[in-house]
């Protein structure tokens, strides 16, 4: 195995008890491993303190060891909190501390989730924010400031029912501190404590750690989650810190109802910043919006004295009634419309009233009969329902696996309410926005509505993990269309910021020429046709390049500049040696697509590997 491989420590036994199985991640303090506790026969996570070189080991050993012990102490104080990773123990092995923590199966940190699947919608972002705020508040009540709230320190994992990302866990109390406890602040020499771009301005200028500083960092984290980049993201760490102190955050474009809250959380003056209590209230309002008050029609009492009439539910109010639109009332001021006192009504003559009622009843009966005939004919002609997924989606037939769709959003593209969909039968001609990758069956329409999105997240996870900028989208049938769809929810993989420009996954055929980079995926093998064209080929045969992953270039970088620096960016961020390729034989290459700069503005680059001498690769490559 190549030097520097993530698996190089597998098999080591720590403290005679914990056998390392695989590496989960790494950071400034060292590495985190999944390990097997041979005494209790269960898996745990072990954080290993590591040093880059002997000089660092000499200069920083004492501080790092103390910080590891402090992390264990702070996190252990929050043991049992539902949104904090549990710390079980801290031990020493070969002179260095290891922290024994809860292993969270299937966990993905928030930063990686956004990078893999694109920004979150505001409601999901607010749900995660509430959980993290709850964890932070629990620490603040004990006097513990986290000091490094950022997307990489928030884990998302399935819950007991298997719903993806349902659990939200705050981790890494490595630089947490209790300001009033008199404890030593263990810092690394010449290092800023915290993460540039997520550090509160008062902390960047030397101020003390406070609860409101953690709140600013949470605001930066939520901004990243919903926008796909940090509010102060810059090319260098120094530029990011400078932006935090001196510049306003970029105005959010996709935050929707979260936008005012993000602005309030990112106020530079901590005295003017929103409080944790008000932040929790604002997040709750996004997760569970309050319905508008119902309007009651002001009709005369019946013989029994009770008012008659009905009121239409306001936006956000759950209803099982058909989605037909109703209206009541007359000119402004009538029927209790709220524009003044109700109009006085003249009592009709009894015989005339009886005749009117009879006529209305006859007309209503005729309308219902004719409507029933139309509905039966139309339902039969359409295979059960004219719009199995509802009027907003507007498809006239159920979706099937492999269907490509073009989406038209009612507002900002790739944001907001469900889009109107239409089929692209060729999966090419109309630059499809997504494709149906799976169908999940539900026992009832209500179950499909409740569980369909989570099941689709699970069923599309593998393919989404191979693509740079997509998300899962569940097309759930209505109650009326549930039977017509075969009781199935369609699981789309949809571009997160722009079209996917063609088929996805194994729906693509060898020999297909890519029209953009959006549907290139990890492990794809490519033949290079020209400087601007590549063809998908089988990895079992000869090929020129293989896709290893993706990286993101600076938001203000032009496409022309990107094409000149993308190879170097891939060599830095997705080095072929980390995938087992000998750096003496192989080198990094890249592909940049117009859509990543023009339509989606993600500035994502596809990173590949090729032979240094430009020779052909084969099936025996690493």
For 594-604, what is each residue's pLDDT tens digit?
A: 889 988 889 99
Give pLDDT, residue 374.
Answer: 38
Q: What confidence tier does 144 reach under pLDDT thresholds 50, 70, 90?
A: confident
**Per-residue pLDDT tens for 510-541?**
999 999 999 999 999 999 998 889 999 999 89
Structure-model confidence comparison of residues 140 and 320, the more confident one:
140
Rounded Cα–Cα distance for residues 294 and 11 (Å): 64
| pLDDT the model gives residue 622 | 79
- Residue 58: its pLDDT value, please? 52
Q: What is the pLDDT of residues 451-491, one digit of tens each?
A: 888 889 888 988 998 999 998 999 999 999 999 999 999 99
Q: How high is the pLDDT of residue 517? A: 93
Query: Where is pLDDT greater, at 149 or 117?
Result: 149
Question: Could you tell me what percent of the chain has a pLDDT over 70?
Answer: 74
Q: What is the pLDDT of residue 430?
A: 84
Catalytic residue among 148, 172, 469, 544: 148
Q: What is the mean pLDDT of the chain?
A: 78
The least confident of 172-176, 195-199, 454-458 is: 172-176
CB contact burial 54-86 (16+ within 10 A = b; e otherwise): eeeeeebeebbbebbebbbbbbbbbeebebbbb
Q: For residue 51, what pLDDT is reported?
A: 58
Active site residue 527: no
Locus of tokens 């029933």: 372
- Of 247-256, 306-315, 564-573, which gets the smallest average pLDDT? 306-315
Alpha-carbon distance of 5 to 294, in angstroms, equals 62
Mean pLDDT of 35-58: 75
Of 284-293, 393-402, 461-470, give the lowest mean pLDDT range.
Answer: 284-293
Task: Please tell me the predicted confidence (pLDDT) of residue 290.
Answer: 58
**Binning pLDDT at 50, 70 and 90, where does residue 590 land?**
very high
Over residues 407-431, the pLDDT tens digits come to 988 877 787 666 899 999 999 888 8
Of the two residues 294 and 431, the one the predictor is more confident about is 431
**Per-residue pLDDT, 60:** 59
d(CA 440, CA 474): 10
- pTM of the full structure: 0.49
pLDDT band at 68 (very low <50, low <70, confident <90, very high): low
pLDDT, tens only, 20-30: 998 887 665 57
Task: Write down the pLDDT at residue 291.
Answer: 52
| Residue 47 is labelled as binding a ligand | yes
Structural tokens at position 177:
């501190």
Q: Give bridge partners of residue 611 from the DSSP assignment.
A: 586
Angle (CA) 350 355 359, round 5°: 145
What mean pLDDT comes out for the span 50-64? 56
What CA dihedral angle connects 569, 573, 574 and 577, to 10 degrees? 100
Question: pLDDT tens digits for 298-354?
Answer: 333 333 333 222 222 233 333 333 222 222 233 222 222 222 333 333 444 444 444
Nearest C-alpha neighbor of 549 from the set 585, 582, 589: 589
Identify the pLDDT of residue 280.
Answer: 95
Q: Which of 580, 416, 364, 392 is nearest to 475 (CA)?
A: 392
Average pLDDT rounded to a whole number, residues 235-264 = 92
Phi-psi region of 129 (alpha: psi -120 to 50; beta: other; left: phi over 0): alpha
Per-residue pLDDT tens over the stretch 362-383: 444 444 444 443 333 344 333 4
Give percent of the chain above pLDDT 90: 44
The pLDDT value recorded for residue 36 is 94
pLDDT at 246: 94
Q: Say how far apart CA 48 and CA 174 lie, in whole Å.
A: 12
Q: In the structure, what pLDDT confidence band is assigned to residue 170 with cuts at 50, 70 and 90? A: very high
What pLDDT, on a 0 to 100 scale, did the predictor assign at position 136? 93
């Amino acid at each position: 195995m190549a030097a520097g491989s993530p698996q190089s420590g597998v098999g080591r036994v720590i403290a005679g008890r914990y056998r390392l199985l695989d590496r989960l991640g790494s950071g400034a303090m060292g590495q985190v491993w999944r390990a097997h506790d041979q005494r209790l026969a269960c898996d745990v996570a072990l954080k290993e303190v590591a040093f880059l070189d002997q000089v660092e080991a000499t200069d920083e050993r004492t501080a790092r060891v103390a910080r590891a012990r402090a992390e264990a102490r702070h996190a252990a104080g929050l043991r049992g909190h539902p949104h904090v990773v549990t710390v079980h123990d801290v031990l020493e092995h070969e002179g260095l501390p290891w922290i024994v923590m809860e292993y969270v199966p299937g966990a993905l940190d928030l930063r990686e989730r956004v990078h893999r699947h694109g920004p979150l919608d505001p409601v999901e972002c607010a749900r995660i924010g509430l959980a993290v705020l709850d964890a932070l508040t629990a620490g603040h009540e004990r006097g513990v400031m986290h000091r490094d709230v950022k997307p990489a320190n928030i884990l998302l994992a399935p819950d007991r029912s298997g719903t993806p990302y349902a659990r939200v866990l705050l981790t890494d109390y490595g630089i947490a501190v209790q300001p009033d406890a008199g404890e030593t602040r263990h810092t690394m020499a010449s290092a800023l404590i915290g993460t540039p771009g997520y550090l509160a301005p008062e902390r960047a200028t030397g101020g003390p750690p406070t609860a409101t500083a953690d709140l600013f960092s949470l605001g930066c984290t939520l901004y990243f989650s919903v926008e796909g980049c940090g509010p102060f993201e810059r090319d260098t760490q120094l530029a990011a810190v400078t932006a935090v102190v001196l510049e306003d955050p970029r105005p959010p474009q996709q935050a929707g109802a979260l936008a005012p809250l993000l602005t309030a959380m990112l106020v530079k003056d901590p005295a003017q910043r929103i409080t944790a209590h008000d932040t929790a209230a604002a997040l709750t309002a996004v997760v569970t919006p309050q319905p508008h008050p119902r309007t009651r029609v002001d009709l005369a009492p019946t013989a029994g004295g009770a008012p008659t009439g009905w009121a239409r539910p306001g936006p956000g109010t759950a209803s099982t009634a058909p989605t037909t639109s109703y209206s009541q009332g007359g000119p402004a001021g009538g029927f209790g419309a709220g524009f003044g006192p109700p109009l006085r009504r003249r009592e009709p003559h009894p015989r005339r009233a009886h005749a009117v009622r009879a006529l209305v009843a006859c007309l209503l009966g005729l309308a219902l009969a004719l409507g029933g005939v139309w509905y039966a004919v139309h339902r039969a002609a359409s295979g059960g329902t004219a719009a199995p997924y509802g009027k907003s989606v507007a498809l006239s037939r159920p979706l099937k696996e492999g269907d490509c769709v073009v989406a038209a959003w009612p507002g900002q593209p790739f944001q907001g309410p469900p889009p109107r969909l239409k089929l692209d039968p060729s999966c090419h001609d109309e630059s499809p926005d997504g494709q149906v990758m799976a169908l999940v069956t539900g026992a009832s329409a209500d179950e499909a509505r409740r569980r369909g999105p989570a099941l689709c997240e699970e069923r599309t996870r593998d393919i989404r993990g191979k693509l740079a900028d997509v998300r899962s989208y569940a097309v759930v049938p209505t109650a009326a269309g549930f039977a017509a769809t075969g009781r199935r929810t369609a699981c789309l993989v949809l571009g997160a910021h722009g079209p996917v420009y063609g088929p996805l996954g194994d729906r693509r055929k060898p020999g297909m020429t890519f029209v953009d980079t959006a549907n290139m995926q990890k492990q794809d093998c490519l033949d290079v046709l020209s400087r601007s064209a590549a063809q998908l080929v089988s990895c079992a045969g000869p090929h020129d390049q293989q896709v290893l992953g993706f990286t993101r270039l600076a938001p203000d970088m032009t496409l022309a500049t990107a094409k000149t620096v993308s190879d170097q960016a891939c060599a830095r961020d997705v080095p072929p040696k980390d995938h087992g390729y000998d750096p003496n034989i192989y080198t990094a290459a890249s592909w940049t697509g117009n859509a990543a700069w023009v339509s989606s503005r993600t500035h994502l680059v596809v990173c590949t590997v090729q032979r240094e001498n430009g020779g052909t690769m084969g099936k025996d490559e690493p």
